[in-house]
Chain A
């Protein structure tokens, strides 16, 4: 067939059509089977489990579990710790996503400059994103140690806290003071901002230089150019980062477990300050052996993520601008 020539329609009953169909199904079947086995089936099984009182120690495998209707959903909705976990989840998600985005934009702007060796700076800025979360949190945990960590050292030198080497000094406790644990974990989340920053960088490079030239002719200074050109044209990237960031933050698990000293005996951190929907679901499932309840709670988290995503998509009409629309 010559390039540009229109392909002749294939008769649906023909051998060629059947062959093409077979090839089509054959090539997509790998993905389809993978989706059915590893995504669809677990979701359906999880939904089934959420309507049972499955206790692995008592019942063994999940198919031995007894159905209990919507009891699990009623139990967690009436549980005050669940609502505390909802609050903590929102607190962390909004806090960390907000902070990461606020920090990422200026970093991306800096890395968008035409400087010698800029690629090296970009690589350095991205490097933390490829570090394993467990290692990152463990290192930060050491830095936040109340008496000997780097943060404590700085606070002592700045006379913000007492000298931890004194017997009667109680330094700021980022690991076990319920008021400080969540802010500390939120601060740690800014470490791996490479992914978010990279998207902003791509967004910045997509903004046409003609806007800045026109603004400069009109006498706009750098801040005015940033506020009136860069920021509005970056809103699609901000929107993307906020949606993806929130979905990820709602499902955060590693940071809380490591920050509170490891999975064994996790009970929500000091005074439940690190109890989120994911960690609470883990606690119910793997510590209390209430797999049915834990699974129902996971669906609660799914609904919460859904609500926030819908709010984002509905709200974006008011504040997201696309260059084409301008």
Chain B
């Protein structure tokens, strides 16, 4: 009995010690839908935190920072909200010797780039010290975007599928088209897009005007998704060879060009100008279908508390992305909180990153509809469930076919060169085969070494 009591006490002390050394999410708190409790603060001093988002996001972060300062006496945080061009402003800050200690960074596009150039602090030692099991803490589909060459550089604030298929039920009804399902293929998608295109009115907008089935996005995520569905990619896995000119990639892109210029299921470049993009055009009911991430709750539907856009008046639904004709994969992206490599207070910055991603910050970021959390525990949180309840189930299904963009160290430059050369293709002036060949020639200088 005595030995059993000693063993029990030892185990209890051990668990308590582990919790206080790092973070502890009690099963009790999860069951109560409250936030995970982040303990063991060793951070002291003053640090700066730089982030993007709308005024609602900023307000949320201010609350989260207050909570962090309360949880960690001796820590003060200078909250810096960027309302301009975040990427340019961040580079300017770093270049002028005024870099923030902690900042938000796009996981799909930039963490690898910044890490490869030595701008980010390797967080491995902190993670190890806190005995943080990353795979059990964060959404595993996005976790590699927080890492580069085996080292962890970011605490995941948000992770989401970027290609969920949102559709306008009113427009489908107006054209007598069946709603999309999770079993749809791109053939079904094209057939519906064609039927949904033409001059007609909808209940919320009685004006008969030219509307389209699909918005026809040509952004970097859309381009990759288009290519993947036909078994291609724009580079090899290592990012060292441009494969955009492969027959599969060209075929994938040509399919979407044809959807615009032959099938008229999406607007041509000439028609698209006044119809808005995948957010505004979908809001205006110019398009019946749009591929978006969970952030649509805030920026498209105006559903989130404090959203800066008015709520839409039409009924909408969401399903997993249609299955590709050769491949079935969907793009996931994430946002990380990263510590500047030359920060004088890396420990405090790391602690705040952990606090924000696992606790109040992640909850706030999700609750204002910016994105679904990166931390698994936050999916049990009431505010998160309330905000994304209708999407989380669909997203979880989509995660089964999740795929991440190749980690390109010059992602922006590579895409910039590609976009430039694909532009005549999207305008119907050249074929995908010709455009992709030129794109590979011009973009190869930005491939990984």
Contacts and interface: CB of A to CB of B under 8 A. Distances in A.
Most chain-A Cβ atoms within 10 A of its Cβ — which of B97, B113, B198, B268? B268
B117 A61 contact: no
A265 B221 CA distance: 14
Contact of B273 (A58, A176, A283): A176
Contacts of A268: 420
B391 interface: no
A48 interface: no
A167 B210 contact: yes
B91 A146 contact: no
Contacts of A291: 95
Provide the main secondary structure of the chain A interface.
loop
Nearest to B89: A286
Contacts of A283: 416
Contact of A267 (B85, B197, B273, B420): B420
A199 B92 CA distance: 39
A273 to B, nearest CB: 9
Interface string B403-422: 00000001011011101110
Contacts of A164: 210, 271
B202 interface: no
Nearest to B119: A57
A61 B197 contact: no
Interface in B402-447: 410, 412-413, 415-417, 419-421, 423-424, 426-429
B274 A145 contact: yes
B91 A286 contact: yes
A148 interface: yes
Which range holds the interface residue count of chain B? 35 or more
A58 B270 CA distance: 41
B133 interface: no
Nearest to A285: B91
B131 to A, nearest CB: 31
A176 B423 contact: yes
B275 interface: yes
B334 to A, nearest CB: 19
B121 to A, nearest CB: 13
Most chain-A Cβ atoms within 10 A of its Cβ — which of B88, B114, B198, B342? B88
Nearest to A148: B274
A172 B270 CA distance: 7
B27 interface: no
A94 B408 CA distance: 40
Interface string B63-89: 000000000000000000000010110
B125 interface: no
B28 interface: no
Nearest to A167: B264
A321 B94 CA distance: 54
Nearest to A162: B270
Given A146-B273, A283-B416, A56 B198 contact: no
B117 A165 contact: no
Contact of B95 (A61, A166, A168, A170): A61
Contact of B85 (A149, A169, A264): A264
A167 B197 contact: yes
A168 B410 CA distance: 38
Contacts of B419: 265, 267
Nearest to B198: A167
B92 A56 contact: yes
B209 A165 contact: yes
A287 interface: yes
B274 A267 contact: no
A183 interface: no
Given A146-B273, A171-B270, A270-B423, A60 B413 contact: no
Nearest to A176: B269
Nearest to B412: A287
Contacts of A167: 197-199, 210, 264
A56 B273 contact: no
A173 B416 CA distance: 21
Nearest to B275: A147
A16 to B, nearest CB: 47
Contacts of B393: none
Given A147-B273, A147-B275, A149-B274, A270 B97 contact: no
B118 interface: yes
Nearest to B110: A57
A6 B246 CA distance: 88
Nearest to A55: B117
A263 interface: yes
A177 interface: yes
Contacts of A59: 95
A91 interface: no
Contacts of B139: none
Contact of A173 (B342, B420, B427): B427
Contacts of B426: 176
Given A56-B94, A62-B95, A176-B427, A165 B412 contact: no
Nearest to A172: B270
Contacts of A166: 210
A272 interface: yes
B99 interface: yes
A175 interface: yes
A158 B178 CA distance: 41
A59 to B, nearest CB: 8
A253 to B, nearest CB: 14
Contacts of B417: 267
Contacts of A71: none
Given A170-B268, A287-B412, A178 B423 contact: yes
A72 B96 CA distance: 21
B285 to A, nearest CB: 15
B427 A60 contact: no
A288 interface: yes
A238 B199 CA distance: 52
Contact of A61 (B96, B118, B271, B420): B96
A112 interface: no
A169 B113 CA distance: 43
Contacts of B85: 263-264
Interface of A: 54-62, 145-149, 164-173, 175-178, 263-265, 267-268, 270-272, 283, 286-289, 291
24 contacts: A60-B97, A60-B99, A62-B95, A146-B274, A147-B210, A147-B275, A148-B273, A149-B274, A165-B199, A167-B264, A169-B271, A171-B270, A176-B426, A263-B85, A265-B412, A265-B416, A267-B417, A270-B420, A271-B423, A271-B424, A286-B88, A286-B91, A286-B92, A287-B413
Given A149-B274, A176-B270, 6 more contacts: A56-B91, A56-B95, A146-B273, A149-B273, A164-B210, A170-B428
Interface of B: 85, 87-88, 91-92, 94-97, 99, 113-114, 117-119, 197-199, 209-210, 264, 268-271, 273-275, 342, 410, 412-413, 415-417, 419-421, 423-424, 426-429
